[in-house]
Chains A and B, each alone.
Chain A
């Protein structure tokens, strides 16, 4: 799975570490470590760092392009960059943690076309079931609720906002369990 490969190559120290605490609590430390190692800019959003790490690991080195060849004006070239295979364009990578699970995963939100696909992927990834979503009551029928941290640092329930808004504002995902999950789900 692409997410886990990227994760393991990047954070290999942490990969073997068992943690009892909530994953994601020492994320800042992880980021700092990976920054130093990779000489990256201090990261702003979880997605940005994830993206560049992942590209280093999995993308083939770009061939040296001749300037101005083929003779196509750049606005024509750019028009189709975003329409090419997702694997070639930049993805929106976010870290996903699940309460109780020792490892973080990384996924590319651009790969999914909507919430249903995303949630299915999460279910497969962490081997659990998410309940049924309703606007009023959140995810019913399971102990888990998928949440995300948005640009403002607020934790929201996945599904509350339109998909396009979600993928541009989501910094990281966290699958909450138990009472905390239920608390978030109920009409905040």
Chain B
């Protein structure tokens, strides 16, 4: 079944076959396109002059086309458009670094200024993948050093980046401006130090949820002297002390600095000094939000409240890594303007939250710990009518702990925050009724991720499976593209998802389902499915094989601790060479006979990769 090219435009362009393949292009040739390159088919009469004009016009027009989906579509019109699009694409997005090789990517797109690259699948975050699995930035940076001397931006997610890579990055691109590393690892403060010292045009350095080794190098002091162009400095995930004096001097000489997110080694007193130097910040990560030493009686404490009041442009607040709640009132002056508030490291209770949240009328994004309890969520629901995204994290991420939030909080949010688009909610107990209520009250939901931490937990009131709740979500939330399910679920839940979840692109399943039918429903019913991650669910080879028609349209399939066998995975691998089928052994598990611990499968133009570690077998 040939995929309908025009419709299959996913956000990834690694799906592109670089030399034009058979049928489509021959027929397109008949449509007055400039036949360049490969000679085949009918000789067409094309006066060269008008086509040159056409190409120039096309080139200019395509400059305005920035959405990668539109560009992917444009590139398929005909060869001429394909060529011009390749020449003019300046931002390259690759959703799976193994789907296409650096060589192929740089050969097609020759004028790239920004690279956006993703590596490991999300379940790697939860220790489900060997640490040395791959996703190395090295080959990419080397290829780009040759191909893109004018590269300005690199955005990486779940990639392994070494100190050497950072050095190469800094040395190869004289105009380099932005580096964003999300959930990356493999580098340390010494690599950072070299990087910041050599990138003289640096505007953005954002380290988000990344693992940074403490090489005891004072990287902050390596920023070059003189006025800096820094607009964004985010290092809240860096778990090592920094030289505060150097940081203060850096902030003082960065007049364009808008985003500053400090790590937990910056005390509230130090934060104060930084804030009065940079009142123009729009995004502030407040560091530890506690003092270095307990202030004695009579010590003069700075007026934190005035410092916050002076930050008139502040819209996004985070940090509070070791918060002492007494200091919270200092943020009152900015609450009314806040659109984003991240309390997900702040162990505060309901009473401490209420006076803050009462003023946050404009809040659109709120991340918080369940320490605020259902009552805290009720307070959020009462005030935050503009809320678009809510994430509630557990303070005690343990199956057996008591959770202070429940269906009560979810219900309250659904009633108060009607514009909600995205929710991530961890809890220990939930009811179908509350989930159904949310499906009806929040029709704009695009992302619904519910994690009932105790596995296989039924409806806390009726004892029924959670099928109907999730069924209502897919039925009523017509814009839903991302879904994560939990609790006791039968195949019926998946039947609903297959029937109604027509726009779903990402689906996460854990400890759910009864039989192969569950997976079959989803593979059959969800045409937009891109990323499917499943763990500990009773789906076997038959279900796996039933999706063969669809896998090339997906970015990846992950199945761990399911009922797959080597034979079943082998069958997929033999059926098509366009999929890479990886079987991953976990370090401390011995596979019994033919059974497969983890399957990670993805489409690729390159075939099996050569950098796989021993724990990975590519079939």
Residues of chain A touching chain B, judged by Cβ–Cβ distance below 8 Å, are 63, 66-77, 79-80, 83-84, 162
A-B contact pairs, 22 of them (CB 8 A): A63-B400, A67-B586, A68-B123, A68-B126, A68-B128, A69-B399, A69-B510, A70-B397, A70-B426, A72-B126, A72-B393, A72-B426, A73-B125, A75-B209, A75-B237, A75-B239, A76-B345, A77-B397, A79-B321, A79-B345, A80-B347, A80-B395
- Complex: A74 Cα to B128 Cα, angstroms: 12
Q: By the criterion CB–CB under 8 Å, are B394 and A70 in contact?
A: yes
Write the chain A residue with the least CB distance to B127: A68
Q: Say yes or no for B578: interface residue by CB 8 A criterion.
A: no
Q: Say yes or no for B111: interface residue by CB 8 A criterion.
A: no
Interface of chain B residues 307 through 361 with chain A (CB within 8 A): 321, 344-345, 347
Q: Which residues of B contact A76 (CB under 8 A)?
A: 344-345, 393, 397
- Complex: A168 Cα to B66 Cα, angstroms: 56
Q: Which residues of B contact A83 (CB under 8 A)?
A: 347
Q: By the criterion CB–CB under 8 Å, are B126 and A73 in contact?
A: yes
Q: Which residues of A contact B239 (CB under 8 A)?
A: 75
Minimum CB–CB distance from A93 to chain B (whole Å) comes to: 24
Q: Say yes or no for B559: interface residue by CB 8 A criterion.
A: no
- Complex: A162 Cα to B209 Cα, angstroms: 33
Write the chain B residue with the least CB distance to A74: B127
- Complex: A63 Cα to B321 Cα, angstroms: 28
Q: Say yes or no for B590: interface residue by CB 8 A criterion.
A: no
Write the chain A residue with the least CB distance to B400: A63
Q: Is the interface of B mostly helix, strand, loop or mixed?
A: loop
Residues of chain B touching chain A, judged by Cβ–Cβ distance below 8 Å, are 123, 125-128, 209, 211, 237, 239, 293, 321, 344-345, 347, 393-400, 426, 451, 453, 455, 510-511, 535-536, 586
Minimum CB–CB distance from B532 to chain A (whole Å) comes to: 15
Q: By the criterion CB–CB under 8 Å, are A71 and B345 in contact?
A: no
Q: By the criterion CB–CB under 8 Å, are B451 and A80 in contact?
A: no
- Complex: A126 Cα to B154 Cα, angstroms: 64
Q: Which residues of B contact A67 (CB under 8 A)?
A: 126-128, 586
- Complex: A131 Cα to B464 Cα, angstroms: 66
- Complex: A68 Cα to B394 Cα, angstroms: 14
- Complex: A83 Cα to B426 Cα, angstroms: 19
Extra contacts, 15 of them, besides A68-B128, A72-B394, A79-B345 (Cβ < 8 A), are A67-B128, A68-B126, A69-B399, A69-B453, A69-B510, A69-B511, A70-B397, A70-B399, A70-B451, A71-B126, A71-B451, A73-B126, A73-B209, A75-B237, A80-B347
- Complex: A73 Cα to B182 Cα, angstroms: 13
- Complex: A57 Cα to B125 Cα, angstroms: 34
Q: By the criterion CB–CB under 8 Å, are A69 and B393 in contact?
A: no
Q: By the criterion CB–CB under 8 Å, are A72 and B397 in contact?
A: yes
Minimum CB–CB distance from B599 to chain A (whole Å) comes to: 16
Q: By the criterion CB–CB under 8 Å, are A69 and B126 in contact?
A: yes
Write the chain A residue with the least CB distance to B123: A68
- Complex: A85 Cα to B395 Cα, angstroms: 12
Q: By the criterion CB–CB under 8 Å, are A84 and B128 in contact?
A: no
Write the chain A residue with the least CB distance to B347: A83
Write the chain B residue with the least CB distance to A72: B397
Q: Which residues of A contact B394 (CB under 8 A)?
A: 70, 72
Write the chain B residue with the least CB distance to A78: B239
Q: Which residues of B contact A70 (CB under 8 A)?
A: 394, 397-399, 426, 451, 453
Q: By the criterion CB–CB under 8 Å, are A69 and B396 in contact?
A: no
- Complex: A66 Cα to B239 Cα, angstroms: 26
Q: Which residues of A contact B399 (CB under 8 A)?
A: 66, 69-70
Minimum CB–CB distance from B122 to chain A (whole Å) comes to: 9
Q: By the criterion CB–CB under 8 Å, are A162 and B126 in contact?
A: no
- Complex: A72 Cα to B237 Cα, angstroms: 15
Q: Which residues of A contact B321 (CB under 8 A)?
A: 79
Minimum CB–CB distance from B435 to chain A (whole Å) comes to: 18
Write the chain B residue with the least CB distance to A84: B396
Q: Which residues of B contact A75 (CB under 8 A)?
A: 209, 211, 237, 239
Q: Which residues of A contact B426 (CB under 8 A)?
A: 70, 72
Q: Which residues of A contact B396 (CB under 8 A)?
A: 80, 84
Q: Which residues of A contact B127 (CB under 8 A)?
A: 67-68, 74
- Complex: A73 Cα to B393 Cα, angstroms: 11
- Complex: A80 Cα to B398 Cα, angstroms: 12
Q: Which residues of B contact A74 (CB under 8 A)?
A: 127
- Complex: A68 Cα to B321 Cα, angstroms: 23
Q: Which residues of A contact B536 (CB under 8 A)?
A: 66
- Complex: A70 Cα to B128 Cα, angstroms: 12
Q: Which residues of A contact B511 (CB under 8 A)?
A: 69
- Complex: A56 Cα to B559 Cα, angstroms: 38
Q: Which residues of B contact A66 (CB under 8 A)?
A: 399, 455, 536
The 10 A-B residue pairs with the shortest CB-CB distance, nearest first, are: A68-B126, A72-B397, A70-B453, A68-B128, A73-B125, A77-B397, A71-B126, A68-B127, A70-B397, A80-B395
Write the chain B residue with the least CB distance to A70: B453
Q: Which residues of A contact B397 (CB under 8 A)?
A: 70, 72, 76-77
Q: Which residues of A contact B395 (CB under 8 A)?
A: 80
- Complex: A69 Cα to B126 Cα, angstroms: 7
- Complex: A80 Cα to B323 Cα, angstroms: 12
- Complex: A40 Cα to B326 Cα, angstroms: 43
- Complex: A67 Cα to B511 Cα, angstroms: 13
Q: Which residues of B contact A68 (CB under 8 A)?
A: 123, 126-128, 535
Write the chain B residue with the least CB distance to A63: B400
Contact for A71 among B344, B347, B400, B510, CB less than 8 A: B510
Q: Which residues of A contact B535 (CB under 8 A)?
A: 68
- Complex: A67 Cα to B126 Cα, angstroms: 8
Q: Which residues of B contact A69 (CB under 8 A)?
A: 126, 399, 453, 455, 510-511
Minimum CB–CB distance from A29 to chain B (whole Å) comes to: 38
Q: Which residues of B contact A72 (CB under 8 A)?
A: 126, 393-394, 397, 426
- Complex: A77 Cα to B401 Cα, angstroms: 13
- Complex: A69 Cα to B123 Cα, angstroms: 10
Q: Which residues of A contact B293 (CB under 8 A)?
A: 162
Q: Which residues of A contact B126 (CB under 8 A)?
A: 67-69, 71-73
- Complex: A162 Cα to B400 Cα, angstroms: 38
Write the chain B residue with the least CB distance to A76: B393
Minimum CB–CB distance from A76 to chain B (whole Å) comes to: 6
Minimum CB–CB distance from A185 to chain B (whole Å) comes to: 24
Minimum CB–CB distance from A67 to chain B (whole Å) comes to: 6
Q: Which residues of B contact A63 (CB under 8 A)?
A: 400
- Complex: A83 Cα to B322 Cα, angstroms: 9
- Complex: A41 Cα to B128 Cα, angstroms: 30
- Complex: A162 Cα to B293 Cα, angstroms: 10
Write the chain A residue with the least CB distance to B395: A80
Q: Which residues of A contact B345 (CB under 8 A)?
A: 76, 79
- Complex: A66 Cα to B511 Cα, angstroms: 11
- Complex: A77 Cα to B126 Cα, angstroms: 11
- Complex: A69 Cα to B510 Cα, angstroms: 9
Minimum CB–CB distance from B185 to chain A (whole Å) comes to: 11
Write the chain B residue with the least CB distance to A68: B126
- Complex: A34 Cα to B535 Cα, angstroms: 44
Q: Which residues of B contact A73 (CB under 8 A)?
A: 125-126, 209
- Complex: A79 Cα to B455 Cα, angstroms: 24
Q: Which residues of B contact A79 (CB under 8 A)?
A: 321, 345
